[in-house]
Amino acid sequence: MKIAMGNDHSAVELKNEIKTYIEAKGYEVIDFGTNSSESCDYPVYGEKVGRAVASGDVDYGIAICGTGIGIGIAAGKVRGVRVCTCSEPYSARLSRMHNNTNVLSFGARVIGVEMAKMIVDEWLDNPYEGGRHERRVAQLMEIESR
Ligand code: RB5
């Protein structure tokens, strides 16, 4: 399974921690950067992650900036992307099971590495339930065509 990762300058260290963590779990990571601490613009990296997911080149995306908000908004602008921006594992889990999210974002200035690992575990380990959620997720995607 392939995961796209992208981040801004605020999240290089956390991205590397999470990258190592999920590679050890058997995921292949496509790293879209940045890998520099020089100030950069989070929309650039959010879009890269979103496009990799929407094109099917990867299965999922993980995007990290200072808050997780800006890079999550950017990824979610790409047609076909459903983003979960969160700071705790419960929402991450339910976003997979009920909303079939395909990009996870969080903030390097908001949570620590151990919380980030718990969030990533819940998000990656819990599959979409389908069933009663299918209609609502379809309605979400229909918004893109209006
Ligand atoms: C960068 O300073 C910061 O604005 C960015 O990392 C992020 O928090 C935006 O949402």
- Express each pLDDT in 79-93 by its tens digit: 999 999 999 999 999
To the query of whether residue 65 is one of the catalytic residues in this protein, the response is yes
Q: Dihedral through CA 7, CA 117, CA 83, CA 16, nearest 10?
A: 20
Confidence band for 123, pLDDT divided at 50, 70 and 90? very high
Nearest CA among 12, 16, 89 for reference residue 45: 12
pLDDT of residue 39: 98
Q: Ligand 1 pocket, 69 CB below 6 A?
A: yes
How large is the average pLDDT for residues 1-9? 98
Residues 6+ apart with CB under 8 A from 108: 7, 10, 11, 13, 14, 15, 64, 65, 66
Confidence band for 58, pLDDT divided at 50, 70 and 90? very high
Most ligand 1 atoms within 8 A of CB, residue of 37, 40, 42, 77 to mutate: 42
To the query of whether residue 98 is one of the catalytic residues in this protein, the response is yes
DSSP-based three-state secondary structure for 105: strand
Average predicted confidence (pLDDT) for the chain: 98
pLDDT of residue 115: 98
Q: Ligand 1 pocket, 67 CB below 6 A?
A: yes
How large is the average pLDDT for residues 58-74? 98
How large is the average pLDDT for residues 98-115? 98
Confidence band for 55, pLDDT divided at 50, 70 and 90? very high
Distance 59 CA to ligand 1 centre (A): 25
Nearest CA to ligand 1 atom 6: 66
Confidence band for 68, pLDDT divided at 50, 70 and 90? very high
CA distances from 27 to 40, 51, 58 (A): 27, 19, 11
